[in-house]
């Protein structure tokens, strides 16, 4: 389980430990917002104003699901950190197993609910008709690929609960750079428009999940 990277936060200066643990966490949160920002910038630059408006109009919807998922996976990882702190290896394995099962059940429910409610929610938000098609395309791909976001957040939460907040950040930075490259390839080379931006985000998050795993 990568014991060389784990960090027993019960030993040493508490303030220093918390600071050293929290800084990568804070930078990681900024990079998670970076995905949508990059999609918006590249779509606006290479697809057009309507496509930019379409991606921009889904920002709060993406944040809603991402925020929910992050909170959920962090909650599941609380037991893992408790068992790790108590040096209970058997309990630790059980807690990790439980977190994986609960996350798998949650991702099915979250994906179904979000995909089904995507278009009604866009209508409820008074999304203009001229950008409705692009907005729906973008948000449904993001929601359908929710498993990638959830997988990254779950594995990152488990790593953090073992005292390692740096590894998830390193892989998040790698996937953020990959997102920019894929955005440009899918949008400029393959002319995929807003769908290209959405696929780039999902693939990048999937890669960061695999690397963390």
Q: What confidence tens digit (pLDDT) does each residue in 12-32 have?
A: 888 888 888 889 988 988 887
Q: How confident is the model at residue 2 (pLDDT cuts 50, 70, 90)?
A: very low
- For position 5, what pLDDT does the model report? 65
Q: Which of 34-38, 86-90, 192-196 has the lowest mean pLDDT?
A: 34-38
Which of 61, 50, 41, 72 is closest to 156 using CA atoms?
72
Round to whole Å and give the CA distance between 188 and 169. Answer: 28
Q: What is the mean pLDDT of residues 168-194?
A: 95
Position 33 pLDDT exceeds 70: yes
CA of residue 132 relative to chain centroid, distance = 24
Q: What is the mean pLDDT of residues 98-108?
A: 94
Round to whole Å and give the CA distance between 79 and 56. Answer: 37
């Amino acid at each position: 389980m990568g014991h060389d990277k784990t960090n027993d936060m019960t030993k040493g200066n508490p303030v220093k430990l918390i600071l050293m643990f929290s800084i990568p966490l804070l930078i990681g949160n900024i990079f998670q917002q970076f995905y949508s920002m990059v999609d918006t910038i590249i779509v606006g630059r290479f697809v057009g104003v309507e496509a930019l408006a379409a991606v921009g109009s889904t920002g709060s919807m993406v944040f809603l699901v991402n925020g929910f998922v992050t909170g959920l996976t962090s909650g599941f990882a609380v037991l893992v950190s408790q068992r790790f702190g108590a040096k209970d290896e058997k309990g630790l394995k059980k807690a990790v197993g439980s977190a994986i099962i609960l996350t798998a059940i949650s991702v099915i429910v979250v994906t179904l609910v979000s995909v089904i409610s995507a278009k009604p929610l866009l209508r409820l938000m008074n999304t203009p008709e001229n950008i409705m098609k692009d907005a729906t395309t973008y948000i449904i791909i993001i929601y359908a690929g929710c498993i990638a976001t959830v997988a990254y957040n779950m594995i990152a939460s488990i790593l953090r609960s073992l005292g390692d907040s740096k590894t998830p950040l390193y892989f998040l930075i790698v996937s953020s750079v990959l997102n920019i490259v894929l955005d440009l390839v899918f949008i400029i080379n393959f002319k995929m428009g807003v769908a290209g931006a959405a696929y780039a985000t999902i693939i990048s998050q999937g890669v960061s999940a695999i690397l963390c795993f």
